[in-house]
Chains A and B, each alone.
Chain A
Amino acid sequence: MTEEKETKAEHRGFGMADKEGKKGYGTITEEALNALKSRIGVERVRAGKPWQIEVSRWTWSAIRAQAQACGDYNPLYWDEEYAKKSPYGTLVVPPGALYGIEQINAATDGMPGMHALFRGLALEWYKSIVLGDIVTGKAYLTNVAVKGSQLSGQSVIQEYDTYGYNEKGEVIGKLFTSWSRHERQAAKASHETARQSARLLARYTSEELERLREDFKNQAPRRGSEIRFWEDVQVGEELPYRIKGPTSQAQRMVGEGGGGRRGGVFAEIGGTSDWGQLHAQIWKMFERHPALPFLNDQGIPEVPVAIHNSNDWSRQYLGLPGGYDAGVQRVHWGVHLLTDWMGDHGFLRKITIRFPQTVMMGDTTWLRGKVTNKRVEDGKHIVEIDYTHENQLGHTVTAGTAEVVLVSRSDPHAKTWD
């Protein structure tokens, strides 16, 4: 059992060696581009059986797990009595959950072997999501464009529009996602990864940790049930900051790895995702997708999501300083900043988000926002906000814009959403 007989090829994963021999694998070819372009405008829905859709209904325990994963204790999500008295009249689902309508991600759509980097996304909300709702999605590839890139010479931009539907078939929101695809060999030699590798993992002294604790305790309370009127908002006004972190493996498992029934888009052991399987079933999965697993420190094949939630494995298998986040939870954190400011009567109608840098495990992130404009459109009183997330090194890791609808004193009983 202890004799090591593995060859280098075997270390790359269960069957990976076969795929890399294929012509054109991992490079931009005319053939691969055309194959991908032929999917533009085609409706894509993640294969799901009725029970997998039913299990995604937003029950009280599902809402609680989602809110807990974000570290957001807004009573709209937790307290039925409070929520009944709110404009929603019932428990509310944290709006970042709309991201769950994603049906397809560029990493697994065309041009096999090409590295996929997430560039950014936008979310638009038309209706609220509340207790008892089921939200489904339909996605369309909208754009495939070759461009030059600093990262690896040439890359391909790949973009999707995804629409979210409630059970009545009404469109309740929309997700736009943008990816860039890179040839893997070139990506490995890129400046970006070199820069990331140069950065060491955070290590806080006890004084530094104490300052973070103070920042956590000094967070201003959320607006809550007190109406924030559009007229009272000043352009240039700053939103009360929020602090998230230092993150840890424990936090990742709750926030991104799927603690409880639903905690994120990644493998949920025991959940509905095929990646979350064990014993006999995981072998069936590996039979279908032999290039998927990596071999862990014991020579056991595992799904790759286990790597990025481990400092040691991200170092060992990817040459990164440590565990990196997948971006999902930053969407939720950003939503938390905005919903805490807007109050129970406001409505988050849009965010755009880009990810200039990775959030490494152990990082602390401060979320800040500023009002940049106010306008009235179709009777809606809108506030525009720029926001950034900065880490403990002072680097901006996330940035974007948001639009919030607020109540106007001219019509204080109007609801801010459809």
Chain B
Amino acid sequence: MTSGVDPLAMEYPKHTSKITDEAIAELKGLIGREIRIPVEDWRIGDSKYGIGDIKVLCRAIGDFNPLFFDPEYAKGTKYGKQVAPPSIIAEMLQIDPGREVLCGARPVLKAVTLEWQVPILEGDAILGKTCVRKVEEGAAPSGDGRVVSQEYETTITNHRGETVGTAKHTFECYERGSAAEAALFADRVPARYNSEEMEAIHQEYRGEEEAKVIRGAEPRKWEEMREGERIRHILKGPTTSGAAPYLSKRVNSPFGLGYSGGISRWYDGLRDAWEQPEKWPELFLLNEHGALEPVEAIEWQHVRSMRFLKLPAKEANSERIHWTAQLVTNWMGDDGFLKKLDLKFPKINILGDITRCYGKVTGKRVEDGKHLVEIEVWNINLVGDTVTTGAAEVILP
């Protein structure tokens, strides 16, 4: 079965995909319908966040705020127990664009708005219900290729039936191999770091620790907030393919609820290597071995992405939701409450990028007896692209 050629040295045709009228019509047919991953009652108990589950979540997003990570510390706060990083609600979208709808297209998260009502605590299970709100075919920003924009709204509740919050996601789906898709990448090439640059990154992380970016127990007082006050930035990355499988679309949330677990939420690589291509051929391409492999996996390394897609590997925009939320939750302290996070992702990152997350206070107000602080947030990557813009609202004591 080996044919004497080296599969890693061969040239491969560019993988392409098309978004059909039927696929758009099918997606439009879902508008207004409630979508949720079915969960039997007997599984709810299993889905409750234990101490370890929240820690695992913290590791996945690189957030070691002791309020989230350390149950002993958390006991001493007003919550009395570990709190789950609030940005997890972004992972509760109950439908998978580019797979379950617009199958085979490249999904790109363009915007997300998260709002919270109550915290998620150790012992809670969270559930989601998603509605498709809008489906629109847009003119491609530049170059040929269909681009379909979709808005989804997800309501997240806990197992007690309380509304935890809402998540609104805006995706754009691109035809793979199109000029419109290529335009997302502009002229980005993978960064190449030398040892001095790596050491500088290492030292920047140490600097964060020394700067005590996590406010912790000392409350930040609303009265003292001043417009223009800067939040000390945090650094993330450089991202690697070791992490990519888990973050190819979604952050690894501990449970099967929502879109979690990376590729394993839909593919086992053994039985599914035969059965899934029959159901969803658009999700696969013929790999170096002449066998079918999910396109999603090809995106984990630059070398494979260049080989088959003729594009570098892209970071998942959704990672920046968790990083930006972390900037704010670090700053607000244990007594703050993140009420809203509204983000846009005007540009992409590629694998290996570093990203710095920035914020500054832009205003404050009192609403329904709550003392709110408005914060502008933005992320800049290593080539100076503003890859995230947005705003947060925090309730301070």
Contact = CB atoms under 8 A, between A and B. Distances in A.
Given A203-B5, A298-B191, A277 B268 contact: no
A202 to B, nearest CB: 5
A77 B7 CA distance: 37
B198 A299 contact: yes
B397 interface: no
Contact of A302 (B197, B235, B242, B273): B242
Given A6-B195, A322-B8, A362-B289, A393 B262 contact: no
A250 B288 contact: no
A38 interface: no
B246 A270 contact: yes
Given A71-B270, A278-B62, A201 B2 contact: yes
B3 A247 contact: no
Contact of B270 (A59, A251, A311): A251
A213 interface: yes
A216 to B, nearest CB: 5
A246 B291 contact: yes
Nearest to B246: A269
B255 interface: yes
B196 A51 contact: no
B122 to A, nearest CB: 11
Interface stretch (A61-69, A92-100, A373-381, A401-409): A61-69
A244 B270 contact: yes
Nearest to A248: B293
A315 interface: yes
Contact of B8 (A54, A201, A283, A306): A201
A204 B261 contact: no
A305 B47 contact: no
Contacts of A248: 269, 273, 287, 289, 291, 293, 297
Given A250-B263, A250-B297, A252-B269, A55 B52 contact: yes
A280 B262 contact: no
Given A253-B245, A300-B352, A302-B242, A260 B261 contact: yes
Nearest to A60: B46
Contact of A69 (B3, B268, B274, B297): B268
B60 interface: yes
Nearest to B71: A51
Contacts of B303: 297, 312
Interface in B27-47: 42-43, 46-47
B256 A203 contact: no
Given A251-B273, A260-B261, A204 B198 contact: no
B315 to A, nearest CB: 12
Contact of B290 (A206, A259, A310): A206
Contacts of B87: none
A279 interface: yes
A248 B296 CA distance: 12
B304 to A, nearest CB: 7
A241 to B, nearest CB: 14
Contacts of A257: 245
Contact of A279 (B62, B260, B264, B270): B62
B14 interface: no
Given A201-B6, A251-B273, A305-B242, A283 B288 contact: no
B386 interface: no
B241 interface: yes
A250 B197 CA distance: 31
A5 B198 CA distance: 12
Interface residues of B, number: 87
B192 A298 contact: yes
Give the interface residue-count category, chain A. 35 or more
A315 B8 contact: yes
B201 to A, nearest CB: 8
Contact of B262 (A3, A59, A253): A253
A202 B289 contact: yes
Contacts of B191: 1, 298
A8 to B, nearest CB: 12
Contacts of A52: 52
Given A261-B261, A270-B252, A303 B59 contact: no
B291 A270 contact: no
A280 B62 contact: yes
Q: Of residues B55, B261, B289, which shows the largest number of chain A Cβ atoms within 10 Å of its Cβ? A: B289
Interface in A160-215: 199-206, 208-209, 213
B240 interface: yes
Contacts of B209: 280
Nearest to A219: B271
B254 A261 contact: yes
A4 B192 contact: yes
Interface in A331-378: 361-362
A27 to B, nearest CB: 28
A60 B8 contact: no
Given A246-B291, A270-B57, A298-B190, A73 B271 contact: yes
16 contacts: A51-B51, A54-B51, A55-B53, A61-B256, A69-B268, A73-B271, A216-B274, A250-B263, A250-B293, A283-B205, A298-B190, A303-B242, A312-B301, A315-B8, A362-B7, A362-B288
Given A208-B1, A248-B289, A302-B242, 13 more contacts: A60-B42, A65-B261, A200-B4, A203-B2, A246-B289, A248-B291, A269-B247, A278-B243, A286-B202, A299-B197, A300-B352, A312-B303, A392-B1
Interface of B: 1-8, 42-43, 46-47, 50-53, 55-57, 59-62, 64, 71, 190-198, 201-202, 205-206, 208-209, 235-238, 240-243, 245-247, 251-252, 254-256, 260-265, 267-274, 287-291, 293-294, 296-297, 300-304, 351-352, 382
- The 10 closest A-B CB pairs, nearest first, are A251-B269, A71-B270, A259-B264, A55-B52, A270-B60, A260-B261, A362-B289, A250-B297, A279-B62, A299-B193
